[in-house]
Amino acid sequence: MISDIHKTDTLWVPFYALIVAVVSEFLSWLLIYRTSQYKKIKNDVDRAVKKLSRSKDAVVGILNKKAQSKKIKDDERELQKLNRDMYSMRMKGQFFLMLIMGAFYAISASSFEGIVVAKLPFEPPWFLHGLTHRGLVGQDYTDCSYSFLYVISTICLRINLQKLLGTAPSAAQAQMMPSGFQLPDQAAAMR
């Protein structure tokens, strides 16, 4: 039996994810990025990253290697401390965002309960059925639920939006940040 697919929903779901991403970035800007405290700490982190990069790239003689190693460790410690401060500042704002985005996801998911929004061109492994087949009846696991399409739309759209707006962390910062910088509405969608 071929499932009844709502093809307009295949387009609506990414559109909802885009709206959520835009609202999320706007709220992030309102609560976090525009504050003078955040701007200051971001500048401090940028400076610390450059300082650490310069320390690592410096070419020194054998006699000065120990001193260079100590300087690098000191710079790394300073950067870690600044990153922790920046992280906790972002987390306060992100917690509030998580509640809002989680509420939006819960409301929108309930309105798509039981609706096949797309057809997957592959059969997902069993441990993904809870996401790809959430709320759907039947054993055809190529039927795609709202949740999976919403999550992949969010992954695609949110990060690109952050890149375009310049709010994504720079490459140097991203490689040195704690792993807790996750997209809050993804965490809500996975529950």
Partner 1 sequence: MQPSDSDHAPGPASAAASAAKKSSGRKATDEKDKPLPLWQKAFLRDAEFDKNEVADVLHWTRQFAALVLGIAFGLMPVKGIVGVAGGPLLIVITGLSWSRYVDVGEDVMEPKHILMEGTLPAIGTFLLFWVSVYTLVHF
Contact residues toward partner 1 (CB under 8 A) are 2, 5, 7, 10-11, 14, 53, 56-57, 59, 118-123, 144, 149, 152-156, 159-160, 163, 170-172, 174-175
Q: Could you give the CA distance from residue 162 to residue 21 in angstroms, rounded to a whole number?
A: 9
We find the least distance from the C-beta atom of residue 160 to partner 1, in angstroms, to be 7
Burial of 109 (0-12, 13-18, 19+ CB in 10 A): middle
Residue closer to partner 1, measured from CB, 30 or 58: 58
We find the least distance from the C-beta atom of residue 171 to partner 1, in angstroms, to be 3
Compute the Cα dihedral for 162, 167, 168, 171 and give only its sign.
Answer: positive
We find the least distance from the C-beta atom of residue 122 to partner 1, in angstroms, to be 5
Residue closer to partner 1, measured from CB, 35 or 51: 51
We find the least distance from the C-beta atom of residue 96 to partner 1, in angstroms, to be 24
Q: Could you give the CA distance from residue 51 to residue 73 in angstroms, rounded to a whole number?
A: 12
We find the least distance from the C-beta atom of residue 46 to partner 1, in angstroms, to be 10
To 10 degrees, what angle do helices 65-111 and 7-28 make?
Answer: 130
H or E segment and range at residue 118: strand 118-119
Nearest one of 100, 93, 80, 110 to 30, comparing CA atoms = 93
We find the least distance from the C-beta atom of residue 63 to partner 1, in angstroms, to be 15
Residue closer to partner 1, measured from CB, 66 or 163: 163
Residue closer to partner 1, measured from CB, 114 or 121: 121
Residue closer to partner 1, measured from CB, 57 or 139: 57
Query: Helices marked H in the chain — which ranges?
Result: 7-28, 36-57, 65-111, 129-132, 146-165, 171-176, 184-190
Residue closer to partner 1, measured from CB, 65 or 92: 65
Q: Could you give the CA distance from residue 176 to residue 159 in angstroms, rounded to a whole number?
A: 18
3-state DSSP call for residue 30? helix
